[in-house]
């Protein structure tokens, strides 16, 4: 039998500091709880213990504090945002039927020590889970320690047994006490022997094992006279430190292993996790409500099946008279639920099923999705694309609950109906078991299938009542109705149009890459002396750092690091390094782009991406399946990929992009007069910055000066540090810091803005764009330095990057409306960062270039010009200009 005992305070602390802050809609922080529970589940999967318990420290002083008032005296109190989570964590553990132990006068370590010895006495194995090395002294043949560590948000565990401990330390685990007695422990204020450090203490324990034996043989021990003198003078401190470091194994704890056997979860766990908004954990544990959690309906819903043309006409008349109808459809539009208000506390739901409808299905959907019926939906852009693919209208949508929820919380990560219903109503919708076309079809006549569909439609309707007032309260109503909602049909049409690709050129490009890859492979094999798997970091590390003896970093348990940063520093050390870097570049181009794009070309030769509206926290759009915004452009070879994207015969591509939009927004938002004047002058901004930073006339600015000034200009927008800047431009940290100081001395308004925006965000709890888009920043109040620093960088960048996103979205809306309004054949087909691409007949190209520039430049009135450059050509690369 095996029992796992968890050091509760240790693991929850690591969870708290290792995970980005999460909070519920009501402002309760939850990331420590979530991290603890996910770590717990991983540990249970690994160890499969029959019994489980958790120990916690108490607030009262322990016997160690009474023996030494300095013990842990320097420890800071628990951060408030962690302290508020502990009671909820303990409630969750109780609902999971996991016993918890604490004891006045003792630390959690002492309870762990006692539990481990009681387990051994009963013939059980014990697994101790902790992030602290103190418990290593408890390792025995039947007790091991799983050391938990969190680094850069990644949690790892290391199993410490007698064997692994001896390999690492060179002595038995029990003598960990003696090691700490000699070297002390600054984190616990255990003094040790003054002047004896870890290296000396380790050597002494490896040779003499215990403090008692060491002092028995003093002063004849094999050590320097100075060390012997320190030991003689520090004997009392060593013995006192040993007392403080020794974990108690016989605390008066009411414990037997059998009392901790794992038991089923209590029904209350569902409600607790629902309150904490842990929908994924509810699904992971397979929990269901133990009581009726649905709110009492405020109105009566009558269901009306829609099967005949006569029924359709009657319902369409009602829908045209209704303030709005709520529509929830399956992805292929074969089954829909439509709900609408029918009077005082009553509403109706219509069941639209293509297989049951005897009339003209296309005509029915044409009428439903026309402009004269006002509709509310969820992720309506996706519905609009499905409608366009069936040659149906996409008019009349007045609200999208997913977009509204996204604006209200841009970092939630998911805006599916299930999650939102839990977030806003603390209730769970039925699992969407029957909400896919293939699964729904055979069940369309069953009450359960339609009940699930109607419940989702009702959820959209409920959110429509809840979300608009919140948008108005946070000042985002205008942003929603002038930017986000009008963009949906624009994006749907862009997705449906697609981007024509020269498949033969793409295939030929891939073949040429294959030839180059093979040549690089052979050169790498020749340099290595034998073939090996170049894509294996382990094998590559062995070749570079063991066989070829190149300079290397620290070796980890998985091998040498061979990431791009490491290899770039070694580029000039050996020809094989440059070949490996080039091999990786060519391989990625071939697999991801040349081969990858060939697989997603539709029958008409066009590639159709999906624009995601609710992914980024800044408001920027992202492109998926495939990602056309990530096509590499920094290298000549990567840029050639753009040549494969072409206009249809007789057409041209018109490409327009904003020039330095983020820097211009920085000038406007910061109010820096010097920077604004630089942009108004029309001169090259990077050259002017270099001139001011390096104190030379503009005509004497060298290419290197301009390049470094450019790096500083863009780095400042992203809150870059002197160290990161030094890495980017290849100078020392001191030089980079000096460049930044000169920059701030030149643009004093920027420095003032950077200070003020962070402080304002700290007070308000959020930052906003010029158009009112918000991003919450709980990180700014975190006690974790790294999280606070992240929050500060976001506070600097989000108002600028987010405003740029808002401007680009408005430009897309204006361009689309202007093109169709003027009766042009030109069509907007792509958006990449600050760039728009239109496909048009060659004869329209000059007019479209002027139109793009006019609309993009007219979106916002700033204190500096907002120029957009437009060019045309037969393919994307040539149109880029």
pLDDT score recorded for residue 293: 41
pLDDT score recorded for residue 315: 95
Contact 2, 47 (CB under 8 A): yes
pLDDT score recorded for residue 559: 76
Report which of residues 68 and 55 the model is more confident about. Answer: 55
pLDDT score recorded for residue 676: 96
Among 336-350, 612-626, 654-668, 838-852, name the one with the lowest average pLDDT.
336-350
**Which residues make Cβ contacts (< 8 Å) with residue 226, sequence separation at least 6?**
none
**Tokens matching residue 839:** 């496909």
Contact 273, 282 (CB under 8 A): yes
pLDDT score recorded for residue 607: 97
The pLDDT tens digits of the residues spanning 84-105 come to 899 999 999 999 999 999 988 8
Is the pLDDT score of 762 beyond 60? yes
Closest CA to 128 of 87, 184, 173, 89: 173
The pLDDT tens digits of the residues spanning 683-702 come to 999 999 999 888 899 999 99
pLDDT, mean of residues 455-462: 92
**Residues composing the chain:** 881
pLDDT, mean of residues 55-70: 77
The pLDDT tens digits of the residues spanning 357-410 come to 999 999 999 999 999 999 999 999 999 999 999 999 999 999 999 999 999 999
Among 312-316, 532-536, 736-740, 815-819, name the one with the lowest average pLDDT.
736-740
Give the whole-angstrom CA distance, residue 420 versus residue 595: 38
pLDDT score recorded for residue 127: 96
The pLDDT tens digits of the residues spanning 15-54 come to 888 888 888 877 788 999 999 999 999 999 999 999 999 9
Give the whole-angstrom CA distance, residue 570 versus residue 87: 51
Is the pLDDT score of 342 beyond 70? yes
Among 223-237, 292-306, 492-506, 799-813, name the one with the lowest average pLDDT.
292-306
Give the whole-angstrom CA distance, residue 504 versus residue 370: 41
pLDDT band, residue 297 (cuts 50/70/90)? very low
Closest CA to 600 of 624, 626, 628: 626
The pLDDT tens digits of the residues spanning 708-731 come to 999 998 888 777 888 888 878 888
Among 232-236, 577-581, 635-639, name the one with the lowest average pLDDT.
232-236
pLDDT band, residue 292 (cuts 50/70/90)? very low
Distances (CA, A) of 533 to 388, 555, 791: 47, 19, 41
pLDDT band, residue 871 (cuts 50/70/90)? very high
The pLDDT tens digits of the residues spanning 647-681 come to 999 999 999 999 999 999 999 999 999 999 999 99
Instruction: Check the CA dihedral 89-94-96-97 and report its sign.
Output: positive
Per-residue burial over 466-499, b if 16 or more Cβ lie within 10 Å, else e, is ebbebbeebebbebbeebbbbbbbbbbbbbbbbb
pLDDT score recorded for residue 553: 67
pLDDT score recorded for residue 876: 96
Radius of gyration of the CA atoms of the chain, in A: 33
**Tokens matching residue 879:** 């149109």
Strand partners, 147: 130, 158
Residue 142, SS3? coil
pLDDT band, residue 431 (cuts 50/70/90)? low
Mean pLDDT of the chain, nearest integer: 89
Give the whole-angstrom CA distance, residue 542 versus residue 560: 7
Is the pLDDT score of 438 beyond 60? no
pLDDT band, residue 239 (cuts 50/70/90)? confident
pLDDT score recorded for residue 215: 77
Is the pLDDT score of 69 beyond 80? no
Give the whole-angstrom CA distance, residue 436 versus residue 450: 12
**Tokens matching residue 814:** 């204006």
Among 377-386, 620-629, 635-644, name the one with the lowest average pLDDT.
635-644
Closest CA to 452 of 375, 359, 546, 351: 351
Report which of residues 68 and 611 the model is more confident about. Answer: 611
The pLDDT tens digits of the residues spanning 511-548 come to 999 999 999 999 999 999 999 999 998 899 999 999 99
**Which residues make Cβ contacts (< 8 Å) with residue 598, sequence separation at least 6?**
503, 506, 507, 510
Strand partners, 43: none
Would you state the torsion angle of the CA atoms of residues 664, 665, 670, 674, taken in this order, to the nearest 10 degrees?
10
Distances (CA, A) of 634 to 631, 642, 648: 10, 12, 26
Question: What is the DSSP track for 25-60?
Answer: TTS-B-HHHHHHHHHHHHHHHHH--SEEEEE---SS
Is the pLDDT score of 601 beyond 70? yes
The percentage of the chain sitting over the pLDDT mark of 70, rounded to a whole number, equals 94
pTM: 0.79
pLDDT score recorded for residue 558: 67
Please identify which residue in the block is written with the tokens 């002390």.
184
- 247 backbone dihedrals φ, ψ, rounded to 5°: -80, 130
The pLDDT tens digits of the residues spanning 468-479 come to 999 999 999 999
For the chain, how far is it from start to end, CA to CA, in angstroms? 72
Distances (CA, A) of 204 to 159, 165, 509, 758: 25, 17, 65, 51
Give the whole-angstrom CA distance, residue 274 versus residue 333: 31
- 814 backbone dihedrals φ, ψ, rounded to 5°: -65, -45
pLDDT, mean of residues 195-219: 80
Is the pLDDT score of 831 beyond 80? yes
* Structural domains for the chain: 2-161+247-260 (3.40.50.1010), 300-473 (3.30.420.10), 521-600 (1.20.1060.10), 662-796 (1.10.150.20)
């Amino acid at each position: 039998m095996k029992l796992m005992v968890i050091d509760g305070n240790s693991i929850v602390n690591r969870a708290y500091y290792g995970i980005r802050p999460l909070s519920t809609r009501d402002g309760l922080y939850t990331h420590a709880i979530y991290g603890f529970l996910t770590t717990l589940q991983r540990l249970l999967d690994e160890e499969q213990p029959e019994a489980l318990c958790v120990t916690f420290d108490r607030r009262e002083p322990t016997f160690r504090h009474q023996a030494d008032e300095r013990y842990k005296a320097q420890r800071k109190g628990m951060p408030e945002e962690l302290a508020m989570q502990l009671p909820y964590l303990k409630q969750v553990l109780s609902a999971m039927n996991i016993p918890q132990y604490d004891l006045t006068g003792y630390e959690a370590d002492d309870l762990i020590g006692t539990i481990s010895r009681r387990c051994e006495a009963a013939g059980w194995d014990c697994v101790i889970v902790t992030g602290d090395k103190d418990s290593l002294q408890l390792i025995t043949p039947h007790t091991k320690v799983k050391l938990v560590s969190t680094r850069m948000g990644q949690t790892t565990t290391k199993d410490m047994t007698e064997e692994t401990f001896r390999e690492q330390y060179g002595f038995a685990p029990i003598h960990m006490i003696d090691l700490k007695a000699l070297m002390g422990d600054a984190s616990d204020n255990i003094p040790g022997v003054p002047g004896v450090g870890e290296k000396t203490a380790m050597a002494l324990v490896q040779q003499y094992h215990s403090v008692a034996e060491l002092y028995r043989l003093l002063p004849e021990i094999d050590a320097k006279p100075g060390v012997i003198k320190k030991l003689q003078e520090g004997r009392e401190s060593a013995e006192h430190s040993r007392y403080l470091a020794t974990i108690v194994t016989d605390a008066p704890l009411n414990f037997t292993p059998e009392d901790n056997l794992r038991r089923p979860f209590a029904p209350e766990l569902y409600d607790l996790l629902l309150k904490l908004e842990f929908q994924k954990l509810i699904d992971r544990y397979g929990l269901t409500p133990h009581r009726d959690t649905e709110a009492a309906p405020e109105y009566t819903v009558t269901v009306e099946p829609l099967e005949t043309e006569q029924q359709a006409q009657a319902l369409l008349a009602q829908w045209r008279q209704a303030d709005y109808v709520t529509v929830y459809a399956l992805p292929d539009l074969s089954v829909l639920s439509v709900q609408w208000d029918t009077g005082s506390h009553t509403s109706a739901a219509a069941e639209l099923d293509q297989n049951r409808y005897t009339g003209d299905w296309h005509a029915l959907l044409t009428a439903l999705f026309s402009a004269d019926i006002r509709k509310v939906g969820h992720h309506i852009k996706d519905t609009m694309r499905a409608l366009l693919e069936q040659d149906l209208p996409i008019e009349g949508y007045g609200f999208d609950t997913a977009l509204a929820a996204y604006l209200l919380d841009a970092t939630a990560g998911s805006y599916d109906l299930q999650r939102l219903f839990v977030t806003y109503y603390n209730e769970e919708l039925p699992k969407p078991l029957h909400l896919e076309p293939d699964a729904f079809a055979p069940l369309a006549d069953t009450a359960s299938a339609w009940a699930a569909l109607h419940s989702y439609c009702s959820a959209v309707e409920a959110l429509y009542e809840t979300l608009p007032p919140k948008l108005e309260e946070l000042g985002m109503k205008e942003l929603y109705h002038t930017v986000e909602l009008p963009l949906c049909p624009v994006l749907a049409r862009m997705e449906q149009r697609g981007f024509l690709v020269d498949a033969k050129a793409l295939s030929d490009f891939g073949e040429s890459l294959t030839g180059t890859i093979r040549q690089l492979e052979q050169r790498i094999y020749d340099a290595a002396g034998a073939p090996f798997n170049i894509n294996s970091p382990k094998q590559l590390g062995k070749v570079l750092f063991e066989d070829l003896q190149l300079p290397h970093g620290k070796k980890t348990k998985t091998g040498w690091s061979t990431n791009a940063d490491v290899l770039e520093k070694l580029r000039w050390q050996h020809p094989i390094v440059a070949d490996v870097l080039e091999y990786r570049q060519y391989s990625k181009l071939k697999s991801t782009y040349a081969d990858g794009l060939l697989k997603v070309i539709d029958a008409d030769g066009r590639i159709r991406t999906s624009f995601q509206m609710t992914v980024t926290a800044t408001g920027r759009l992202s492109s998926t399946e495939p990602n056309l915004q990530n096509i590499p452009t920094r290298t000549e070879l990567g840029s050639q990929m753009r040549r494969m994207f072409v206009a249809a015969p007789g057409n041209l591509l018109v490409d327009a992009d904003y020039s330095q939009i983020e820097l211009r927004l920085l000038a406007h938002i910061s109010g820096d007069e010097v920077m604004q004047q630089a942009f108004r002058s029309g001169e090259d901004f990077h050259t002017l910055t270099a001139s001011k930073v390096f104190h030379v006339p503009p005509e004497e600015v060298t290419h290197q000066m301009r390049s470094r000034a450019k790096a500083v200009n863009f780095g400042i927008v992203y809150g870059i540090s002197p160290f990161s800047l030094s890495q980017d431009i290849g100078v020392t940290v001191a030089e980079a810091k000096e460049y930044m100081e000169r920059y701030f001395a030149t643009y004093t308004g920027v420095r003032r803005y950077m200070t003020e925006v962070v402080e304002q965000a700290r007070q308000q709890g959020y930052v906003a764009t010029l158009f009112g888009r918000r991003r919450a920043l709980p990180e700014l109040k975190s006690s974790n330095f790294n999280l606070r620093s992240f929050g500060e960088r976001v506070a600097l960048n989000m108002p600028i990057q987010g405003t740029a996103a808002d401007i680009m979205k408005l430009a897309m809306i204006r361009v689309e409306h202007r093109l169709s309004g003027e009766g042009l054949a030109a069509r907007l087909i792509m958006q990449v960062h600050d760039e728009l691409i239109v496909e048009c007949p060659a004869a329209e190209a000059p007019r479209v270039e002027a139109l793009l520039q006019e609309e993009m430049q007219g979106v916002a009135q700033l204190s500096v010009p907002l120029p957009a450059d437009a060019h045309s050509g037969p393919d994307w690369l040539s149109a880029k200009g």
